[in-house]
Structure 1
Amino acid sequence: MIAHSVDDPLYYLHNFRQVLLWVEQRYADLLDAQEQAFIRDFLALGAPAQALLVRMVMRKGELFRSDRLDYAEIGDPQAALQPLLALGWVGEPEQLSLEQLFSLLRKDELASGFAGQLARPRAAKGDLLLQLQPLELSPRPLSQWFELPPVGILQWRLQPLCDRMRLLFFGNLYQDWSEFVLADLGLLRFEQVAFSVDSRALQRRGDVDVAMALHHCGQRLELGEAPALILPALDDLQVDNPWLARRLGRLLFALGQQCERLGDWALALAVYARSSHAQARIRQVRVLERSEQWQQAHELALALAAAPLNPLETQALQRMLPRIARKLGGPPQPRRRPAPLELIELNLPREQAALGVEEAVRQHLAQAGGQAHYVENTLFNSLFGLLCWDAVFAPVPGAFFNPFQAAPQDLHDADFQHRRSDHFAACLGRLDDGSHREAILACYAAKQGLQSPFVFWPMLSQTLLEQALACLPAAHLKQCFLRLLQDIRNNRAGMPDLIQFWPEQGRYRMIEVKGPGDRLQDNQLRWLEFCAEQGLPVAVCHVRWSEAA
């Protein structure tokens, strides 16, 4: 798909047309009669009517003041509006609530229209609404609110249909039409992946309905609706699409978290039991703890410990089991001691606190020799992303289905690596034969600025890259990359803050920095333990601020 230059005032229309043609070409068998008719009738409209419709689609909400639908590139708004009115896609709303009126009209228009009902007509707009709400005025047509309406109000009636089009194109509803604008401006650039027939996220019409249902349930949760009222909408969903199953698992996990906040332990347990989220099993143990069901918590924790799904579960259970055993009256349980770490204790002048603790330590280390950089999670992720670019962006079925994807859809799936095993074997094999440096530098030059789930372009300078490739042993990189692939969601965070290079000696050291009162987080502890076990040089630096002498 070719993005159009924003120098063309109708760039947004050209992009919308391309979306419709893309959807029509790739999802013809999934479109219902209304959607097929919309595409046909839209493409038959004149450019002004098309452009006005797209302007409404891209704006927030479905209600618009008629005097704010005036765009220079469209021309006469009334002429552009007539075909949309004739098709019934736009029209006067049947009724408007008091709150909708206040969102659309200006204060002076409201004060004039409700003058006889306001005790303080010159108050702020928000106060005017508070004065009227106790009257419990029912929704009604605009003409019944005002004898002479101050402005016309129009309703765009096909937003749900256009949301389905957006879903089919992007494969989700969190990306919106602004993606095109950012691409047109050159702010976002994407790798171009070949699309096959089986690359579609949604394979059946039922998948579209399920995706929309999940989206609406998520919106209801965000608006504060009780989980018990939302869950029945999920009970009858038939979800056998892996992409939708992941979304259902995340939604159920979010519902379980809200149940916990509300103290509804029984419902939280039931919801977590239905979720495929990576942390759902641990949350069940935690709910049993919080509700003081110690025996059940102990039995479930033991069962999970026998076959943990990931390192996150292992770490959490190592803490939970001794704690639960104590609650049951058992003897104290020894905790597994972590591998010893190199510790650095620094007293730095208090005035350096303004730099931030990481930068203060970086400058201190740089004065002591070597090249110190603040990298946190960016360096090793970027090196992995550059070396394994071809594997990450391999045209695996169901991974890419639109030209605006920064990452494969199955990035966090358990079989992500397995589905690309040959590609990853070839990429990681370069660490064994020594060709990784050349491959990483070539990718750095060829893919500069393209969106990637791993490569942090703003942080990755040529100098940092050259020093890293000179000082980081291939064997160390391979161990880190393999760990990353074990659990991408959790393992691509928690890496040490700083890295120090001695290029002349070909060595390095990673440093996790902690200021006064700060403590190591769980994902950081897991990375530090991994580094210690694999022999990667790492230290923890504790900083205290000292007063000037």
Structure 2
Amino acid sequence: MTSISARAATAPLDDPRYYLANFRFVLDWVAKRHADLLATPERAFLEAFMALPEASQALLVRMVMRRGEHFRTSRLVYAEIGDTETALAPLVEADFVDADPALDIATLFAQLRLPELRQALAGEIAAAELSPGLSKAALNAALAPRLDDSRRLTDWWPAAPDRVVRLAVMATCDRLRLMFFGNLRQDWAEFVLAELGVQRFESVTFTHDSRAFRSRREVDAYLALHRLRERLDAGESAAELKAELPEMPANNAWLMAHRDRLCLALGRQAEREGEVELALSLYAEAGWNEGASSEARIRRLRLLERQGRHAEALALARPLVQDSQACTGAEAQALDRLLPRLARRLGEPVAPRLPEPVPERFTLELDPMGASLGVERAVADHLHRDAAPVYYVENALINGLFGLLCWEALFAPLPGAFFHPFHVAPADLYREDFVTRRRAHFAACLALLDDDSHAAAIRATWREKRGLASPFVHWETLDEALIELALACVPAAHLRACFERLLGDLKGNRAGLPDLVQFRPQAAAGEPRYRLIEVKGPGDRLQDNQRRWLSFFIAQDMPAAVCHVRWWGMS
């Protein structure tokens, strides 16, 4: 069992080859913790890489960290590496770099500047009777249909002053990066940001179970989903991509959720393309698995409704309403609106809807000069008093106090939660079983609210963990003065109610909280010592997640209001 902090995992930035030390750290980590997931190509890469001269290792890492796979040698000049050609030669010999790759027209345009393209393609420009003064984009549009083959740079441009080389091991490096991070969103910059102190991370204990993937098949499945998502973003049709959706390994809820998100995105694309049946099938795949997307379920029902298939939609919707525990607040709200419409269209009786609770409302007329600050800050400035200070907090206050009180629960080192030293949040934060797996941890944290020991715990965590990355604590907003006022003025019972609601749907309920909080430390006995205020400018309306929080506050008898703003002299 090893505990490694993010800073200990990085190399000092006064080492000019710090990036190479970071890359070696990742390779060593993967080799030790993921050896059973490595096949011959990765093992061969690890062995051959370590046998390279250090300058060649450094140049390879520089290329891996840059965008794309093609590089002009004139742009691979680094003082700490020395002569580029000397460092390149071992990489070419090891087949890590292709010294003279064939380039299609898109790659050629990406590598050459406009004056160079005019020289390299002078014959083609003349043959197409194009003006030599065309922009790069116009030249590309005109020549691309005519030049659909691939050629070496010397064939495109015999007088080229340097070479274009291609990194041939990017796929292998991406696979190793994926095994380290558990995703492809994070990259080598994480090390640098941590070393510079831009981001600091909680230290978590790692065991053999602290890894994202249990089998090579799971790694392959993730990579397949990632490539499909890239192709979707590049504009390929939903039908083409659905045909290539991979089967997921059994008993991996995290990967299945990843697949569900892709199906949801494909479904939205299919809708845009007018492929109704395809969209419905994709929403069905994304929304009817255990713990699957509630958004996909609602999109499927709404699409059926738009198609006039009301009976089919109603038959699917009713079981969702009956299984209230499986519904998020957003889904329950959407179903509460959808079911009466479907029932009316089918001539079925409609149960009367309970009226939505109406929050306290008030209107302020403000100087339009304050609009430059933003409507929320203008209201905060207007309402602020020394004896009743107002803070613009939006989602930062309730979430932040929750994150501080429940820090130990959120960062409990459970299997499948943390894979490497650079986690802002547990990898399973939004998985259906996140809270269930930590039920005892959260219960212990919330129990501190019962005897008012929560205040000391929150203060201690703020002092000890200040500045560490957290999914709930926004350190720039949550300063010590704000915390002290909140602890003095917000009853523990109100905090517990809010925290329990957060735990009911961490992803959905962390947003939609009121913009402002006003504290009244000197309020008379029996009077509330704080008030939450949602601000709405002219023409702005409450969003659904804001309505849900306001209804909750009313039900809990918590002081909250909506402030509507008008600007002087403006209709």
Map Cα deviations across residues 467-508 of structure 1 (whole Å, 9 max, x no partner).
Answer: 011101000000000000000000000001110001223710
Q: Distance in 2 between matches of 1:87 and 1:104?
A: 24
Match of residue 477, structure 1, among 468, 491, 495: 495
Q: Which residue of 1 aligns with 2:190?
A: 179
Which amino acid is the alignment partner of residue 158 of structure 1?
V
Q: Which residue of 1 aligns with 2:565?
A: 543
Q: Is 2:225–2:246's contact at 8 Å kept on the other side of the alignment?
A: no
Q: Which residue of 2 aligns with 1:92?
A: 99
Match of residue 259, structure 2, among 239, 248, 256: 248
Match of residue 341, structure 1, among 348, 359, 364: 359
Q: Distance in 2 between matches of 1:136 and 1:51?
A: 36
Match of residue 298, structure 1, among 309, 314, 320: 314
Which amino acid is the alignment partner of residue 503 of structure 2?
L
**Structural mapping, 1:133-532, within 5 Å:** 133-275=144-286, 276-308=292-324, 309-330=327-348, 334-367=352-385, 370-505=388-523, 507-532=529-554
Q: Is 1:227–1:255's contact at 8 Å kept on the other side of the alignment?
A: yes
Q: Distance in 2 between matches of 1:34 and 1:137?
A: 32
Q: Distance in 2 between matches of 1:248 and 1:169?
A: 20
Match of residue 30, structure 1, among 29, 37, 46: 37
Does the residue aligned with 1:417 lie in a helix, a strand or coil? Answer: helix
Q: Give the C-alpha shift of residue 355 in structure 1.
A: 2.1
Map Cα deviations across residues 422-445 of structure 1 (whole Å, 9 max, x no partner).
Answer: 211111111011111111011001
Q: Give the C-alpha shift of residue 7 in structure 1.
A: 2.1
* Long gaps (5+) in structure 2: 1-7, 287-291
Which amino acid is the alignment partner of residue 179 of structure 1?
E
Q: Is 2:404–2:461's contact at 8 Å kept on the other side of the alignment?
A: yes
Q: Distance in 2 between matches of 1:240 and 1:160?
A: 27
* Long gaps (5+) in structure 1: none
Q: State percent identity of aligned pairs.
A: 51
The yes-or-no answer on 1:127 pairing with 2:138 is yes
Q: Distance in 2 between matches of 1:411 and 1:496?
A: 23
Q: Distance in 2 between matches of 1:131 and 1:513?
A: 52
Q: Distance in 2 between matches of 1:423 and 1:127?
A: 61
Which amino acid is the alignment partner of residue 397 of structure 1?
P
**Structural mapping, 1:4-83, within 5 Å:** 4-83=11-90
Q: Give the C-alpha shift of residue 132 in structure 1.
A: 2.0
Name the Cα RMSD after superposition: 1.6
Q: Is 2:537–2:564's contact at 8 Å kept on the other side of the alignment?
A: yes
Q: Is 1:210–1:239's contact at 8 Å kept on the other side of the alignment?
A: no
Most deviating of 376-385 and 325-334: 325-334
Q: Is 2:101–2:165's contact at 8 Å kept on the other side of the alignment?
A: no
Change (3 A) 1:260 1:542: same
Q: Is 2:267–2:279's contact at 8 Å kept on the other side of the alignment?
A: yes
The yes-or-no answer on 1:101 pairing with 2:101 is no
Q: Distance in 2 between matches of 1:374 and 1:290?
A: 41
Q: What's the TM-score, normalizing by structure 1?
A: 0.97
Which amino acid is the alignment partner of residue 432 of structure 2?
A
Does the residue aligned with 1:458 lie in a helix, a strand or coil? Answer: coil
Q: Is 1:56–1:156's contact at 8 Å kept on the other side of the alignment?
A: yes
Change (3 A) 1:463 1:248: same
Q: Give the C-alpha shift of residue 180 in structure 1.
A: 1.2
Map Cα deviations across residues 255-285 of structure 1 (whole Å, 9 max, x no partner).
Answer: 1111222222211111111112232211211
Q: Give the C-alpha shift of residue 93 in structure 1.
A: 4.5
Q: Distance in 2 between matches of 1:19 and 1:58?
A: 13
Aligned pair count reads 548
Q: Is 1:201–1:243's contact at 8 Å kept on the other side of the alignment?
A: no
Map Cα deviations across residues 356-399 of structure 1 (whole Å, 9 max, x no partner).
Answer: 11111111211495011111100000000000000000011110
Q: Give the C-alpha shift of residue 310 in structure 1.
A: 1.9
Q: Distance in 2 between matches of 1:150 and 1:461?
A: 57
Q: Distance in 1 between matches of 2:331 and 2:427?
A: 24
Q: Is 2:238–2:270's contact at 8 Å kept on the other side of the alignment?
A: yes
Does the residue aligned with 2:511 lie in a helix, a strand or coil? Answer: coil
